[in-house]
């Protein structure tokens, strides 16, 4: 009789250095783990994570303590008709003609301005020079906020992400997150009130004016959504672009294929979301006792859904630890919808409302970067290293290229 192997603790340096080795043990032998320090059950298999995202018994009540202290009450905490109405108020700005006609030019302009800062240098760090700044710039411009406050938004975004990923409950990180909530509210509420009195053609004006079945968003609702957009929209796109390039640079044949055929960019993005997702875990809370991962999870418990593990479950994906933009078990046609095969946007009623915005940002950013860097390659001697546990991506990605004349 063999004994199941112990996976490295999720809060350990060993796990932070290489979560994928731990995921392989969890998937094979430890699909359900009680983690005392986090007071949470960890689930790793695809079918279990998908179940936690889709089935109504799994609530987002955990966000009352995980998100609300730093954002205020957000759409992620709502359910039933209240959630449906709020989503109907928000969603139109993130799809169809609103996205393509109003906001694609904003995305293109932000990518171009950042690339202009290094396109003639022949070198860049794709993390610090582009990926980390690009989505925040897009969000600031979409909302019609002051570009001059970019550094302030960058600091708030960093603080919020640190709060959300504070699995060890570091008191200084928690306190900084609370300060950020107060500072962000002090900044945004007056802006929202002024915008209500003088509506424009920006996303903030759209949110101020939106109405469904007689329901409008309050100033606090809009502030909380903007805070959520800043963090969720910034962190995921930041790490997705950096990880996409890391993956392609480590697979030169696939980089060459994408360069030659830009219609492959969505495939490369979808495979990056599966293979090296920006967000490695999302939490849920069952309303009643539920069977999951071969055990029973009590009502009211926190369940940590390990997306980074589920997306590499060999029972769902062939050669799951292999990066392959041409794989046939990850249809690109559904990869940015609630029917996605990967789990990086979640599933069900809380499927990411900004999925198509992220897709557009990645398509625009990757296209412009490839145009500016025709012979893109890693800087000599550099081996990309990922960082992060809650969210994860390359810490740095220095590259060299021949400037385009």
Whether the Cβ atoms of residue 241 and residue 143 lie closer than 8 Å to each other: no
pLDDT of residue 2: 47
**Choice between 78 and 388, residue whose per-residue pLDDT is larger:** 388
What's the pLDDT score for residue 283? Answer: 95
Q: How far apart (Å, rounded) are the C-alpha atoms in residues 309 and 44?
A: 5
Q: Please, what is the average pLDDT of the chain? A: 93
What is the DSSP pairing of strand 393-394 with strand 386-387?
antiparallel
Instruction: Decide if pLDDT at 362 tops 60.
Output: yes
Q: Where are the beta strands (DSSP E) in 91-205?
A: 123-125
Lowest-confidence region among 139-148, 185-194, 207-216, 224-233: 207-216
Judge whether residue 355 has pLDDT over 50: yes
**pLDDT over threshold 50, residue 1:** no
pLDDT at 6 over 50: yes
Do 226 and 189 contact (CB within 8 A), yes or no? Answer: no
- 281 and 304 Cβ atoms separated by less than 8 Å: yes
- Per-residue pLDDT of 27-36, as tens digits, reads 999 999 999 9
User: Regarding predicted confidence, which is higher, 78 or 174?
Assistant: 174
Helix H segments across 170-322? 171-197, 203-209, 219-228, 234-249, 252-260, 265-275, 307-310
The answer to whether residue 182 scores a pLDDT higher than 80 is yes
Quote the pLDDT of residue 4. Answer: 64
Tell me the three-class secondary structure of 1-51, residue by residue.
CCCCCCCCCCCCHHHHHCHHHHHHHHHHHCCEEEECCCCEEEECCHHHHHH
**pTM over cut 0.75:** yes
**Mean pLDDT in residue range 174-202:** 94
pLDDT of 168 reads 85
Please report which confidence band the pLDDT of residue 3 belongs to, taking 50, 70 and 90 as the band edges: low
Q: Percent of the chain scored above 70 by pLDDT?
A: 99
For 300-345, what is each residue's pLDDT tens digit? Answer: 999 999 999 999 999 999 999 999 999 999 999 999 988 899 999 9
pLDDT given at position 29: 95
Cβ-contact 46, 55 below 8 angstroms: no
pLDDT mean over 62-88: 83
User: Could you tell me the two tokens for 19?
Assistant: 């979560």
Domain boundaries defined on the chain: 13-371+379-399
Residue 171 backbone zone (phi > 0: left; psi -120 to 50: alpha; other: beta) = alpha
What backbone torsions phi and psi does residue 292 show, to the nearest 5 degrees? -160, 135
**Tens of pLDDT, residues 97-156:** 888 888 999 999 999 999 999 999 999 999 999 999 999 999 999 999 999 998 899 999
Cα separations (Å) of 138 from 11, 114, 203, 240, 355? 33, 11, 11, 15, 15
What does CATH list as the number for 13-371+379-399?
1.10.630.10
Closest CA to 139 of 186, 185, 106, 99: 106
pLDDT greater than 60 at residue 262: yes
In this prediction, residue 30 carries a pLDDT of 95
């Amino acid at each position: 009789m063999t004994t199941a192997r112990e996976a490295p603790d999720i809060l350990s340096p060993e796990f932070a250095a290489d979560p994928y080795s731990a995921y392989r043990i969890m998937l094979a032998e430890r699909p359900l783990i009680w983690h005392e320090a986090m007071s949470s059950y960890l689930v790793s298999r695809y079918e279990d994570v998908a179940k936690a995202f889709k089935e109504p018994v799994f609530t987002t009540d955990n966000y009352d303590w995980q998100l609300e202290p730093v954002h205020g009450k957000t759409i992620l905490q709502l359910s039933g008709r209240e959630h449906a109405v709020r989503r109907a108020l928000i969603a139109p700005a993130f799809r169809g003609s609103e996205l393509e006609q109003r906001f694609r030019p904003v995305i293109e302009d932000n990518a171009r301005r950042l690339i202009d800062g290094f396109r003639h240098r022949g070198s860049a760090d794709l993390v610090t020079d582009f990926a980390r700044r690009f989505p925040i710039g897009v969000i600031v411009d979409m909302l019609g906020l002051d570009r001059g406050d970019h550094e302030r938004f960058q600091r708030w975004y960093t603080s919020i992400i640190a709060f959300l990923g504070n699995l060890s409950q570091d008191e200084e990180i928690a306190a900084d997150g609370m300060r950020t909530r107060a500072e962000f509210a002090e900044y945004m509420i007056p802006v929202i009130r002024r915008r209500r009195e003088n509506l424009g053609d920006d996303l903030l004006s759209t949110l101020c004016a939106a109405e469904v079945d007689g329901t409008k968003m309050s100033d606090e609702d809009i502030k909380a959504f903007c805070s959520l957009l800043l963090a969720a929209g910034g962190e995921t796109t930041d790490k997705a672009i950096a990880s996409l390039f890391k993956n392609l640079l480590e697979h030169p044949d696939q980089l060459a294929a994408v360069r030659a055929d830009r219609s492959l960019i969505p495939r490369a993005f979808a495979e990056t979301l599966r293979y090296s997702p920006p967000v490695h875990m999302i939490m849920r809370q069952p309303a009643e006792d539920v069977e999951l991962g071969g055990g029973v999870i009590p009502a009211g418990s926190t369940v940590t859904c390990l997306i980074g593990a589920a997306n590499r479950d060999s029972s769902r994906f062939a050669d799951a630890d292999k990066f392959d933009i041409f794989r046939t078990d990850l249809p690109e046609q559904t990869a940015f919808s609630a029917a996605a095969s990967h789990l990086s946007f979640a599933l069900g009623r809380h499927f990411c409302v900004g999925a198509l915005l992220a897709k557009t940002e990645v398509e625009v950013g990757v296209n412009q970067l490839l145009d500016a860097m025709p012979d893109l390659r890693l800087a000599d001697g550099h081996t990309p290293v990922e960082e992060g546990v809650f969210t994860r991506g390359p810490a740095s990605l220095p590259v060299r290229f021949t400037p385009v004349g």
